[in-house]
Structure 1
Amino acid sequence: MNSYKKDKNEEAIKELKAIFKKYKIYPKKRYSQSFLINPILIEWHLKFADLNSDDFVLEIGAGIGILTLSLVQKVKKVIAIEIDKTLIKVLKNRLASYKNVELIQSDILEIDKSLFKDKKVISNPPYNISSPLLFKLFKTKYKMAILTLQKEFAERLIAKPNSKAYGRISVNSYLYADIELLKIVPNTFFYPTPKVDSALVKILPKSNNTQILNVKFYNELVITLFSQKNKVLEKVLKGFLKKRINESKIQKIISNISCSRNRIRELTPEQIVELSNRLYQKLSRT
């Protein structure tokens, strides 16, 4: 980091600590709290979200309102979610002059998915909820999302079959959304400084997502498959099916699966959906 950037960061950290002192707050590890100190990330959020005065925005993990303060000046309404009740007090104070913001003290994972409907989700969410947050997002009718995520996690979202990062979240991301990695975000953009870098991603709902006959069955299958992703499909399926049908019928079902000799990590999302649908239909008839 050059001396100018270092000075700017130190200045931002000093201002942040002054806010901590004023409100008698501190970063809480249990909430995975790191606060934004570099305004460049705010500029990126606003640019890639293409905001206008008619937009409704949902912000997850509003913190002390660093991003929120910019959002409320650009859009019709911001709904800011913050789990930490001590930070809600800070937000109420810092956003008191704005009438187009609604503060909700809650866990986003517990909030009804209807809140996402027709919203642009713009956030720097805590790392520790990234996976369940994305699975929830995919089930909602959100408009689009611009999120700062841990870099490694963001790479898993767009990972291809047979790559090291390919997994359950990669499959679901491909099926339910179009995802673009926009920017790498250095860990120095936050305080306390995280151990790893982040990435800014754009997420759009996929309108023509592949038809899954039974989502519950599909989810159970995918969890089983990717808990053993380096194994051959045939072996994993035997264990999966043994809990559901008579063992004498298992081999007949597997023999009709063309990719049964492939390793799990080699299967494309389309193959996995096709496998789920075929198995569900066969098991429904037994």
Structure 2
Amino acid sequence: MGANHIYYLGEVYECTGKWSQRMKLLQPLPRVFEQLLGEAHPDTLVSMGDLASTYLYLGQYEQAKQLQVKVLNARKRVLGKEHPHMLSSMNDLASTYSKLGQYKQAEQLQVKVLNARKRVLGEEHPHTLVSMSNLALTYSDLGQYKQAEQLQVKVLNTRKQALGEEHPSTLNSMNTLALSYSNLGRHKQAEQLQVKVLNARKRVLGEEHPHTLSSMNDLASTYSYLCLWDEAKELSHKALSIAERMLDNQHPLTQALHQRLKAMQT
């Protein structure tokens, strides 16, 4: 199978949420490209980045980080500080720092990327909005909930106007704003947004897509905060049955669902 066919099949697996199959498909590519083209060749770095993003979705954060650091260092040597590929590498590594709980490192990178993208691309460019959204998530992780909310409202309003209510990026923005509402104790507002996101993701992505599964988990958590125990249990059981089938027992989302159900039984 040629590289183009592998990438095409990898995209199919990504769109259908089959991340384990995608990982097995992409794992050999970085070494093959490195042997044929060299460590710093653009195709080698793209293959590393694609594999790293797959590790990230599968909860294998250290493996993702190792590849992303390698890509970032290689791009530093050959590209300028504000080159789009350089900024993408910084953004990807920052996301992994967040997953590893290294929030200050994530914030430092995200602020640099956001400021550069504002200068180069403008405030309403899709890549700038991604940077705002990522920084907002990190603010939430750092307990800076009002700052997070302000950024998220700005991103959501811009995406609604540009992309429509059910575009995946708009739904991501609704979801992150709902998480900020939860952190601020505004659980009814969080519930309203999360129900909307879950229903839209079911229609657009399907019930077994990782983003839909994440929405189920978030809404189940909000139901728990609202003491809607029956709803929380039902949704958690449904999400867990899908997670065990589509992910694995070591995935952070699967473990979170197990822990919630165990807590509700005590």
TM-score range (shorter-chain normalised) is under 0.3
> Highest relative contact order (Cα 8 Å, sep 6+), 1 or 2?
1
- Could you say which structure has the larger radius of gyration? 1
The structure carrying a bigger helix percent of its residues is: 2
Query: TM-score under structure 2 normalisation?
Result: 0.27
Query: TM-score under structure 1 normalisation?
Result: 0.25
The structure carrying a bigger strand percent of its residues is: 1
